[in-house]
Each structure stands twice: as structure tokens, then as C-alpha cells.
Amino acid sequence: MSNQNKKSSILKQSKPLTRRMAWLFLIAAGLIEIYWAAALKNNSLGILTLIALLLSFELLIRATKMIPIGTGYAIFTGIGTIGTILVDMFYFQEPFRWVKILLILLLAAFIIGLKISDGGMKKEGA
């Protein structure tokens, strides 16, 4: 059996991506984005940062096989934005501003709204 046939056989055996798993991939991609964005601010373009960057985009790509790209990308960047602002405030000692907290909460509400509008909160059978 050639390498191409083995690869094709392995891909056919893998389980199809469920909607729930797609949402988990998307959330993980956003959380990993926080790490690499903070690392870039810290001038840390090392191998871990590059791996995190590639992994976050790989997870985003996989998630958008089941989730519409507009919704997926908005949530991906929203999670990254919220997390990066919080890292800025707590790790990099950016000044605390109530307006930022209010806007973060508003952004979080929009992310939840996108998930709900996509049917992401419905109980899924698969």
C-alpha cells in the first residue's frame, strides 16, 4: 500500500467533526491566540509562539468546517481581544479603566449572541 493510499485510508477512518467539537476547537483557538498575541507584545517570537500561532489558525480552520466563517472569525478574534486586554491589564500593568471592562462585557455579550444565533446553544444529537 503506497503512502498516499495509507493517508487516504486514515482520513476516511477519522470521525466527522461534530458541531460541539467545532465550537471547542474555536474556543481553544481563541484562547491560544491570547498567548501568542501577548508573546508578540513581549517581543518573544520564539518557537513556542510560532507553534501557538499555527495551532490557533489550524483549530480555527477546522472549526469553520462546521461554523460559518463570519461567525467563527468574529468569535475567534473576540476571545483573543478580550483575553489580550485582560493580559494587558493584569500582566503588563496597563491601567485599569471601567470603560474597558464595560466594553469587554459588551463584546462578550455579542460573542454569546453569535453563538446563540448560530444554534450553538441547542442540544445536539451527534
Whether the Cβ atoms of residue 85 and residue 106 lie closer than 8 Å to each other: no
Whether the Cβ atoms of residue 18 and residue 126 lie closer than 8 Å to each other: yes
Judged against a pLDDT cut of 60, whether residue 122 lies above it is answered with no
Of the candidates 29, 43, 119, 38, the one whose C-alpha atom is nearest the C-alpha of residue 78 is 29
Measured distance CA(35)–CA(21) in Å, rounded = 21
Mean predicted confidence (pLDDT) in 31-39 = 96
Mean predicted confidence (pLDDT) in 83-95 = 92
- Domain layout of the chain by residue ranges: 17-117
Measured distance CA(30)–CA(77) in Å, rounded = 7
Three-state DSSP at 115 gives helix
Calculate what percentage of the chain has a pLDDT beyond 90: 63
Measured distance CA(103)–CA(64) in Å, rounded = 26
pLDDT of residue 58: 97
Of the candidates 39, 30, 40, the one whose C-alpha atom is nearest the C-alpha of residue 80 is 30
Mean predicted confidence (pLDDT) in 90-105 = 91
pLDDT of residue 18: 93
pLDDT of residue 119: 66
Whether the Cβ atoms of residue 65 and residue 17 lie closer than 8 Å to each other: yes
What is the rounded average pLDDT for all residues in the chain?
Answer: 85
Mean predicted confidence (pLDDT) in 17-30 = 95
